[in-house]
Amino acid sequence: MTSAKDRIVKRAVQEIENGMNVNLGIGIPTLVANEIPSDYQVLLQSENGLLGIGPYPLETEIDPDLINAGKETVTTVAGASFFDSADSFAMIRGGHIDIAILGGMEVSEQGDLANWMIPGKMVKGMGGAMDLVQGAKRVIVVMEHVSKYGESKIKKTCTLPLTGQKVVHRLITELAVFDFTEQGMVLMEVAPHVTVAEIREKTEANFTLSENLKIVT
C-alpha cells in the first residue's frame, strides 16, 4: 500500500512546471526531487547556496560537500551553480523562486503557516522559511493531515509560532488538496476512497467545497 508521504509527494510534483525555479523545504518536500519528470528543465534551489539540485545520490555518488539545506547529501544537474548565502537569499527575496514547496506543522484556515519551531524543543535556526513564504511567487505546503497523536494539523488558528500570515496558496495532504482564497479555505481535490465527511472529521478548520471538486490523480 502506498504510504501517506508517497501520496503527498506524487501530488506535489504536479505543481511543478517545465522551466521553473523551485525551492524544496526540509522533510517531505525533499522527496519531490526524485519524482520530477526526466524531460523537465527544472532548477531546484537550496538556500545554503546551490542552484541545480539533482536526485539523492547512490552510495557510489555521495559527496559530503554537496548538501541541501537539511544537511542531506545531494547530486547536481548539468549547469548547477554554487554561491554564498547572501546571493541565495537575494534570489529568494528578489522574487526569482517560482514555487516553494515547504513542510508544515500547522496551517490555519486563513493560510497562516507554522513550520519552524516547537516551543521547548531545540531549534538549530529558523532557516529560510520566513523569507521563502514572502519571496516565492507561490507557496505550496505539504504535510500529513493529522499529527501522530491523531490531532488535526489544519487549524482554525495556529497554536505554534508562525512562519508567516496568510502566505499559503495551496495545501496538499494525503487526504486532500486545499486552496486559500479571499473567500476562505476551499477543498479542491479529494484523495481516492476518501469522503468529504472523513476530511471534515479530521480538519479543525472551516472550509467550503469547490464547485469543481475533483479526485486527486
What is the mean pLDDT for each group of 10 consecutive residues in the chain (217 residues)?
Answer: 89 97 92 91 93 91 90 90 94 97 97 88 76 97 96 97 97 98 96 97 98 96
pLDDT at position 214, please?
A: 97
pLDDT at position 120, please?
A: 73
pLDDT at position 35, please?
A: 93
Q: Going from the N-terminus, what domains does the chain have, and what CATH number goes with each?
A: 4-168 (3.40.1080.10)
Catalytically annotated residue among 15, 47, 106, 109: 47
Task: Give this prediction's pTM.
Answer: 0.94
pLDDT at position 70, please?
A: 80
Residue 47 a catalytic site member: yes
pLDDT at position 121, please?
A: 75
Q: What is the 3-state secondary structure (H, E, C) of the chain?
A: CCCHHHHHHHHHHHHCCCCCEEEECCCHHHHHHHHCCCCCCCEEEECCCEEEECCCCCHHHCCCCCECCCCCECCEEEEEEECCHHHHHHHHHCCCCCEEEEECCEEECCCCEECCCCCCCCCCCCCCHHHHHHHCCEEEEECCCECCCCCECEECCCCCCCCECCCCCEEECCCEEEEEECCEEEEEEECCCCCHHHHHHCCCCCCEEEEEEEECC
